[in-house]
Amino acid sequence: MSRPVFARRFRVPFSACDPAGIMFFPQVFLLFQDHVDQWVTEGLGLSYAELLGPRRVGLPSVRWESDFRAVSRMGDELVISLQVERLGEKSLTLHFEVHGDGVLRVEARQVIVCTNLDTHRSMPFPDDLRAAITRFQEQST
């Protein structure tokens, strides 16, 4: 059985491209961060803004691995997808893929650690966030 996927379409804007008209690689990481925000808010049904703001729950990246396999250009329509590889007590590993025209353009893994934004120390995932991630993992695809 494959893991559940949170996916959405994205068109590469002019602002994400370098002078050669190719999507500038740091912009891909901004795309991943935006996708995590959308996943938490839309896919998990929790407010990402509320987690970071009033609840003071941080979800910083502590590790990235990425492979850029093909270029993306201004105007390309891409599909970005996210899967949960591992949910630990205080950390989460996500797997991303970016496809365009049936071609895998970027593949990446991100490790996120749950932190208290007041102390900047790691902490267990809040119960509601853990339950939402677990429900997402249990969805059939």
Paired tokens of 115: 């932190």
pLDDT digits (tens, 9 = 90+) for 97-131: 999 999 999 999 999 999 999 999 999 999 999 99
Query: pTM (2 decimals)?
Result: 0.93
The model's pLDDT over 42-83, given as tens digits with 9 standing for 90+, comes to 999 999 999 999 999 999 999 999 999 999 999 999 999 999
How many Å apart are CA 48 and CA 53, to the nearest integer? 8
Cβ neighbours for 55, distance < 8 A, ≥ 6 positions apart: 126
What are the structural domains, with CATH classification, of the chain?
6-138 (3.10.129.10)
